[in-house]
C-alpha cells in the first residue's frame, strides 16, 4: 500500500473528513484491521486566510511548496491537497517535488465524464469559481462549466468563510445554496460540482434534484485507488 501525503488544515473540519474517508475506504476494500497509510502536514488556516484576503498568491504558493516538501521527506508516495481553492498553487507544487500530485479537478472531471454529463455548475470560493485553474482542467475533458451570477458568488463565498470553515452549518444558508442551484439548473446545468471541501457539510444529494459531485469524496476515492494499485 502506498503512503498518501495530505496537505490539510484548510479548514481542519474538511481535513478530518478526508482522514475518515481514506481509512473507511481502505477498510471497505481490504477488510479486517486495514486502514490507510498516510502522513499529513496541517497548516494554520488563519495564516492562509489572511494571505488569501491580500491576494498574495506568491506567499501562499511558498506555504504549499514547503508543506509538499515536508510530505516528501516524511515518505509520502504521492500528494493530495485537502482543499479546492489552494489548487491554484498546484503547478508549483508539481514543479518543486519529485512525487506525484493528484489534482482534485482531474479526479472530479473523470467522475463527471463517467456519468455522461457535458455541462455542470461549479460552486466554491470566489477564487475557485472566478479563476481558470479549475475550469481549464474540466474543459480538457470536454465539460462546459457555468458559475453563479456575481451576487450569488459573493453569498457562497461569504457562507464558506463566515460559517462553514468555522464549523457552522445554518439552515438558511442551505436554503440559499438550494435557490442558487435551482437557478443554475434553469441555465442548463446537468450537475453541480461542490468545489469547496466544506460545502458537503451543508449540501447533500437529497437537498437538490441535480446530481452533485462531492469533490472531497471523489478525491479521497481516487487517492485510495492509487494507494492500492499494485
Interatomic CA distance for residues 153 and 147, integer angstroms: 8
Q: Does 11 sit behind a cis peptide bond, omega within 30 degrees of 0 on the bond before it?
A: yes
Q: Which fold has domain 105-214?
A: Rossmann fold (3.40.50)
Interatomic CA distance for residues 63 and 115, integer angstroms: 36
Mean pLDDT score across all residues of the chain: 95
Clarify whether 136 is annotated catalytic.
no
Interatomic CA distance for residues 176 and 161, integer angstroms: 15
Region(s) of the chain under CATH 3.40.50.1860: 4-103+218-228, 105-214
C-alpha cell at 62: 511558498
Q: Which fold has domain 4-103+218-228?
A: Rossmann fold (3.40.50)
> Using 50, 70 and 90 to split pLDDT, how confident is the model at 46?
very high
From its phi and psi, is residue 219 left (phi > 0), alpha (psi between -120 and 50) or beta? alpha
For 97-137, write each residue's pLDDT tens digit: 999 999 999 999 999 999 999 999 999 999 999 999 889 99
For the question of whether the overall pTM of this predicted structure is more than 0.85, the answer is yes
Which of the following is catalytic: 61, 82, 83, 97?
A: 83
For the residues 163-178, what does the mean pLDDT come to?
94
Clarify whether 83 is annotated catalytic.
yes
Which of the following is catalytic: 82, 89, 196, 197?
A: 196
Interatomic CA distance for residues 95 and 55, integer angstroms: 22
> Using 50, 70 and 90 to split pLDDT, how confident is the model at 82?
very high
Burial class (CB in 10 A: 0-12, 13-18, 19+), 193: buried
- DSSP for residue 2: P
Amino acid at each position: 500500500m502506498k503512503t498518501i501525503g495530505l496537505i490539510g488544515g484548510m479548514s481542519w473540519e474538511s481535513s478530518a473528513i478526508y482522514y475518515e474517508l481514506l481509512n473507511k475506504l481502505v477498510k471497505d476494500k481490504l477488510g479486517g484491521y486495514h486502514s490507510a497509510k498516510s502522513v499529513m502536514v496541517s497548516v494554520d488556516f488563519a495564516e492562509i486566510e489572511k494571505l488569501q484576503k491580500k491576494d498574495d498568491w506568491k506567499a501562499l504558493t511558498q506555504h504549499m511548496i514547503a508543506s509538499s516538501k515536508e510530505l516528501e521527506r516524511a515518505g509520502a508516495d504521492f500528494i493530495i491537497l485537502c482543499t479546492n481553492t489552494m489548487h491554484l498553487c498546484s503547478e508549483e507544487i508539481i514543479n518543486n517535488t519529485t512525487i506525484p500530485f493528484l489534482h482534485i479537478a482531474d479526479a472530479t472531471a473523470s467522475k463527471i465524464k463517467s456519468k455522461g454529463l457535458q455541462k455542470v455548475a461549479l460552486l466554491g470560493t470566489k477564487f475557485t469559481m472566478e479563476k481558470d485553474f479549475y475550469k481549464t482542467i474540466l474543459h480538457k475533458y470536454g465539460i462546459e462549466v457555468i458559475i453563479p451570477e456575481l451576487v450569488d458568488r459573493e453569498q457562497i463565498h461569504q457562507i464558506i468563510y463566515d460559517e462553514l470553515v468555522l464549523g457552522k452549518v445554518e439552515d438558511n444558508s442551505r436554503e440559499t445554496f438550494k435557490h442558487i442551484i435551482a437557478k443554475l439548473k434553469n441555465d442548463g446545468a446537468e450537475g453541480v460540482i461542490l468545489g469547496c471541501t466544506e460545502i458537503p457539510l451543508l449540501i447533500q444529494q437529497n437537498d437538490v434534484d441535480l446530481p452533485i459531485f462531492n469533490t472531497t469524496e471523489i478525491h479521497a476515492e481516487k487517492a485510495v485507488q492509487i494507494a492500492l494499485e499494485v
